[in-house]
Amino acid sequence: MKLADALQIRNVTIRNRIALPPMATGKAVDGAPGDDMIEYYRQRSENTGLVIVEHEYVSPEGMAHPTQLSIASDEVIPGYRKLAGTIHGQGAAALLQISHAGAAAINGGLVVLAPSAVRTRDDRPMPQEMTAEDIKRVTECYVQAALRAKEAGFDGIELHGAHGYLLNQFYSPLTNKRTDAYTGSTMAGRTRFHAEVLKAVRAAVGEDFVVAIRFGACDYEEGGSVMAEIPEAVRIFEAAGADLIDISGGVPHIAEKPGHKEPGWFSEEAKCAKASVDIPVLVTGGVNTGADAQAILDAGAADIIGVGRAFLKDAGWAGKALASV
């Protein structure tokens, strides 16, 4: 498997194994992509296989920060249509990462919802435990967000289930203290919401649309989620309709692996996932060079390599990396 090799994800062929992962830019204009953001993605789409656009909130009470993108209304579709066209114009495939911040949401005068009344960040209000009706409504918000992404011309969506956001809060025993069907005490309960959202989105968007999930695979805290649970969890996601597993960290807001600075610091978790499913696995973290990315592929840890900070520093990173290996 080489960095330059193409890869099929459901109905989409990505031209190589390089991905721009979702990273907040703070460039949203009234919740929609503006010209500065579109130019940012245009530059980083050149020679890149897959671009995953930074997270968009699916419902106003799920907003994580004031400059976040929104996919919560039809009014934003024209901006996304221009963004999708720009990314495709550079030859890259494009996904939108759709998200609900849950307990990590800003208040904004709205009730903050979460699996349980557990605060995940000191600067956020105490959340309210979601009722069955809340869960049903938010599931439909994910569905409508995915339909808007499809209408805007994207190749698919990625559910944000990492970094201490809502889906991750359901998965983590640190934040899920429920005792109902979504209980934090069993794997079936912890992944029930994920599976329901995946199935509902798949039923709505049809078979010609990629549905990925970013998975906060481990919490790295006592009492939290652990690596040994990854195989069972990712098999549930695959069975529910996921086409791609994107491995990252869990609660609270972990985009890095504690104590690790080596390229591909989530590679061990990604390799565990890859051995458990038949769909592609993406891993991000600490990759600086083409050789770093190729080494992770050679180790069989993942099928796609996400490159974050190096892409922030150098918009032309992908072309240089491909030429170096």
The residues annotated with a catalytic role in the active site are: 165
Of the CA atoms within 13 Å of residue 143, those in its CB half-sphere come to 16
Using alpha carbons, select from 230, 233, 232, 298 the residue that is nearest to residue 264: 298
| 72 membership: H or E segment, kind and range | none
DSSP letters along 6-71, please?
-EEETTEEESSSEEE-----S-EETTEE-HHHHHHHHHHHTT-SEEEEEEEESSGGG--STT-EE-
Q: How far is CA 27 from CA 24, 71, 93, 168, in A?
A: 8, 15, 21, 25
Separation CA 324–CA 183 (nearest Å): 48
- Burial (0-12, 13-18, 19+ Cβ within 10 Å), 132: exposed
Rg (CA), the chain: 18
Residues 6+ apart with CB under 8 A from 209: 10, 11, 146, 150, 155, 156, 157
Using alpha carbons, select from 73, 84, 126, 80 the residue that is nearest to residue 102: 126
Separation CA 192–CA 186 (nearest Å): 10
**Structure-token pair, residue 113:** 């919802």
